[in-house]
Structure 1
Amino acid sequence: RARDTVAGNLESLAKRGRLPEGLAPLDEMLRTSTRMADVAGANLIIEAVWESMALKKTVFGELDRHADADALLATNTSTLDIDEIARSTARPESVLGLHFFSPAHVMGLLELVRGERTRADFVAAGLDLGRRMRKTTVVVGVCHGFVGNRLFIARDREAVRLLYEGALPEQIDRVLTEFGLPMGTFDLADMGGGIELGYRARQDRGEVEPVGDRLFLAGRLGQRTGKGFYRYEPGKRRPLPDPEVTQIIEAVSREMGIERRRFTDDELRERLILPMINEGAKLVEEGMVLRASDIDVVWQKGFGWPDWKGGPMYHADRLGLAAVHERLLALQERHGERFRPAELLRVLAAQGRTFTGELAADTAAA
């Protein structure tokens, strides 16, 4: 199956004229095996199994037994703790994260996750790999979701809360696409298998999200099953609002004792975008990125953030950090601690400074 997938991808690239001339036959470039011992001799090994910590630790324990002593051991995890994975080996200094955005042969972004003990020369090797693969590579630290998914998770958790309070998937997604993003939260979940991925991740963590859980248990897994947060006509990918989903959401609201209400688009946009900015500020504050603009690069290259808005942190600078801080305080007062402004945001707002240093708030307002 892996060989067929690679062959299909190469064939597709060839039809579009995107393969170099004189490329060796696939059989000369690719060797497949189901035996872990066959990783011996490789100088770089990238694990890409299911997003389960227990499974990944098992795999890295096996890699530790069979890989060459100087091999670089990389994980493609999109959220999990690289340092915990590394501790399942006797050589944590050889482990780092290489998070390729999906589909990996198309997307131009690579998050290189540097672990607590990752060797500097292995980080350099990862950067060189990204360069040779023509990827934009951003070095990030170890935290849940790294850079791209940490902001993504903050936004999507708020999107689910908005469902509980009265919004519907189609309204939330429309607000995000009108903002300039290529897809909304729930449309993307249907396309990328997010309902099943989210359910299994919550099962591993012992968590519950009643809307997503009910969709999964009802067999509503997204486009591939013809229904998820939306319904789909046979052979079509256009998301259509589904009264059955509305009924599920409204039932959850009743059970949670939440009185549903109407939202304006401005309210939704604020509650979806400002948590992303705040999470980005925390990443800078925690030293997870070298500079705020790295967050913008990740979101432009990996998630399709509109170029004319420059990325979440640049967008915050355009809004004015004092205004962002003020709105987060108002949201905190109304909705709770999840909206508490990051300390760095408070400091920069008070000093009249910006995240990117490229645009002062008073210039943006002019």
Structure 2
Amino acid sequence: MSQTSFEIQQAAVIGAGTMGRGIVMCLANAGVNVQWVDNNPQMLEQALTTVAQTYAHNVRQGRIDQAEADARMARVSAAADYAAIRNVDLVIEAVYENLELKQKIFRELDGLLKPEALLASNTSALDIDAIAAATRRPAQVLGLHFFSPAHIMKLLEIVRGAQTSPAALEAALALGKRMGKVSVVSGNCHGFIGNRMLHPYVLEARKMLLEGAYPQQVDAALQGFGFAMGPFRMYDVVGIDLEWRARQLAGKGQDAPQVQVDNRLCEMGRFGQKSGNGYYHYEPGSRQAEHDPEVDALILRVSEELGFQRRDIGAEEILERCLLALVNEGAKILQEGIAGSAHDIDLVYLNGYGFPADKGGPMAWADQQGLADIHQRLLALETRQGDQWKPARLIGELAAQGKGFADR
């Protein structure tokens, strides 16, 4: 089989958590045979049951027939260990976000798999080159960042490392197409395209809580603009505790003023929807986010303890700060060559982050505003709030030429 026409017939997934389950279904649904490995046999057993239940549910809903459900299920099998998966074309690792653990897995797999097999990590932020460095096949290593729930979300970020070969990228893009994904290639940097842009966006939202806003105000402004959900509802859905635990593990970031509200919520066991309380309250069995005055009181206390003078923050300021934070980071991603085009960035935000479809994505929205206008607005924020608002070089350059991101 020549490198150029490498087609993925057999795959393996490492990890039977939520992401692993979704990825297994994506592969099985696309006609790929999947061997599934997890070092906890009970967890793997449960995961196989969950997948079977999901297919049964799809049959009841009339989405697929029984024969199709049986065919999909037949493509999935449990594998006892890494030795059992040595003949696969692709392994996708979906264990928790820990670089050392991922390097250890990749080192072991590299020693067992056939030389042309691809090794992919479903990391959402870790350094693909550092993971590839644990192997003797860095050209065959890449990131396949699925979005949760993986079998439902359309977006797939394909992350190319410094040494990822064009053939490996081509095979990954072909697989993305077979799985019915919207695939976007990203360069390797912390958080890739989507999560890297999300960081300054949620940072502004959190800062505004300390300065005078409340969660439902911030969310209402962004949902009014057309987002599927605002940042605080989003955190309740994914779990506020994920970043909190990551900060604990890393032993850093826990003291930043912006995360103090999150920390206090987590210390109270308010992890979001799954625990019935987060930034909002949820009645048993309900996903309806309800305003919780207790959270407002907590925010008031935390901001006063930190010495903030609270003020009224309107919907306009919320939109201005959150949207311009996205656009400015997007421009940096473009200027660094992490994304191939502004359209790619928009695809990520439309398909993975609930950006309003009628606005075309953050970069298209900025082009509609006019980059000269965006540039001025960023300069005004820089004057008022400091140099984190310094406009990306690319915005100034394009604005001076009367061009937009789309012209690049």
TM-score, scaled to structure 1: 0.93
Q: Is the 8 A contact 2:215 2:279 kept in 1?
A: yes
Q: Is the 8 A contact 1:166 1:263 kept in 2?
A: yes
Q: Is the 8 A contact 2:345 2:363 kept in 1?
A: yes
SS at match of 1:356: helix
Deviations 1:28-50 (A, max 9, x none): 31111352322211111001111
2:61 aligned partner: 16
1:35-50 to 2 correspondences below 5 Å: 35-50=81-96
1:349 aligned partner: 399
1:305 aligned partner: 355
State the alpha-carbon separation in 2 of the partners of residues 200 and 116 from structure 1: 30
How far has the Cα of 1:25 moved from its partner? 4.2
2:283 aligned partner: 233
State the alpha-carbon separation in 1 of the partners of residues 57 and 234 from structure 2: 23
Deviations 1:237-287 (A, max 9, x none): 111222222222222212221111110110111011101000110111000
Q: Is the 8 A contact 1:52 1:201 kept in 2?
A: no
Identity, % of aligned positions: 46
Deviations 1:269-320 (A, max 9, x none): 1011101000110111000111111111111111221121010000001111
1:145 aligned partner: 191
SS at match of 1:153: helix
TM-score, scaled to structure 2: 0.84
2:246 aligned partner: 201
SS at match of 2:148: coil
Name which of structure 1's ranges 322-331 and 148-157 shifts more when overlaid on structure 2.
Answer: 148-157
1:58 pairs with 2:108: no
State the alpha-carbon separation in 2 of the partners of residues 58 and 22 from structure 1: 39
Deviations 1:144-194 (A, max 9, x none): 11111111122111111111111110000001100101111111111121x
1:185 pairs with 2:202: no
For 1:201, give the aligned amino acid: A
1:286 pairs with 2:331: no
State the alpha-carbon separation in 1 of the partners of residues 310 and 98 from structure 2: 35
Name which of structure 1's ranges 12-21 and 111-120 shifts more when overlaid on structure 2.
Answer: 12-21
State the alpha-carbon separation in 1 of the partners of residues 214 and 368 from structure 2: 29
State the alpha-carbon separation in 2 of the partners of residues 65 and 246 from structure 1: 54
Aligned pairs, how many? 357
For 2:234, give the aligned amino acid: L
Pick closer, same or farther for the CA change 1:343–1:27 going to 2, 3 Å: closer
Name which of structure 1's ranges 36-45 and 340-349 shifts more when overlaid on structure 2.
Answer: 36-45
State the alpha-carbon separation in 2 of the partners of residues 216 and 55 from structure 1: 25
Name which of structure 1's ranges 163-172 and 234-243 shifts more when overlaid on structure 2.
Answer: 234-243
SS at match of 1:234: coil
How far has the Cα of 1:22 moved from its partner? 4.0
State the alpha-carbon separation in 2 of the partners of residues 68 and 197 from structure 1: 35
2:22 aligned partner: none
Pick closer, same or farther for the CA change 1:43–1:319 going to 2, 3 Å: same
SS at match of 1:131: helix
For 2:101, give the aligned amino acid: L
1:361 aligned partner: none
State the alpha-carbon separation in 1 of the partners of residues 99 and 304 from structure 2: 35
Q: Is the 8 A contact 2:156 2:181 kept in 1?
A: yes
State the alpha-carbon separation in 2 of the partners of residues 161 and 107 from structure 1: 29
SS at match of 1:85: helix
1:5 pairs with 2:55: no
1:211 aligned partner: 261
Name which of structure 1's ranges 46-55 and 257-266 shifts more when overlaid on structure 2.
Answer: 46-55
Q: Is the 8 A contact 2:59 2:66 kept in 1?
A: no
1:321 pairs with 2:367: no
State the alpha-carbon separation in 1 of the partners of residues 222 and 80 from structure 2: 43
Name which of structure 1's ranges 85-94 and 173-182 shifts more when overlaid on structure 2.
Answer: 85-94
1:69-84 to 2 correspondences below 5 Å: 69-84=115-130
How far has the Cα of 1:14 moved from its partner? 2.3
For 2:346, give the aligned amino acid: D
Pick closer, same or farther for the CA change 1:79–1:242 going to 2, 3 Å: same
For 2:179, give the aligned amino acid: M
For 1:17, give the aligned amino acid: G
State the alpha-carbon separation in 2 of the partners of residues 242 and 55 from structure 1: 39
How far has the Cα of 1:26 moved from its partner? 5.3
State the alpha-carbon separation in 1 of the partners of residues 129 and 201 from structure 2: 25
Name which of structure 1's ranges 317-326 and 65-74 shifts more when overlaid on structure 2.
Answer: 65-74
Deviations 1:186-208 (A, max 9, x none): 11111121x11111222233111
Pick closer, same or farther for the CA change 1:54–1:249 going to 2, 3 Å: farther
Q: Is the 8 A contact 1:7 1:26 kept in 2?
A: no
1:113 aligned partner: 159
Pick closer, same or farther for the CA change 1:236–1:85 going to 2, 3 Å: same
Name which of structure 1's ranges 264-273 and 143-152 shifts more when overlaid on structure 2.
Answer: 143-152
Q: Is the 8 A contact 2:52 2:73 kept in 1?
A: no
1:86 pairs with 2:132: yes
Q: Is the 8 A contact 1:211 1:249 kept in 2?
A: yes
1:29 aligned partner: 75
State the alpha-carbon separation in 1 of the partners of residues 319 and 144 from structure 2: 32
Deviations 1:313-344 (A, max 9, x none): 00001111111111111111111121110000
1:332 pairs with 2:382: yes
Pick closer, same or farther for the CA change 1:352–1:114 going to 2, 3 Å: same
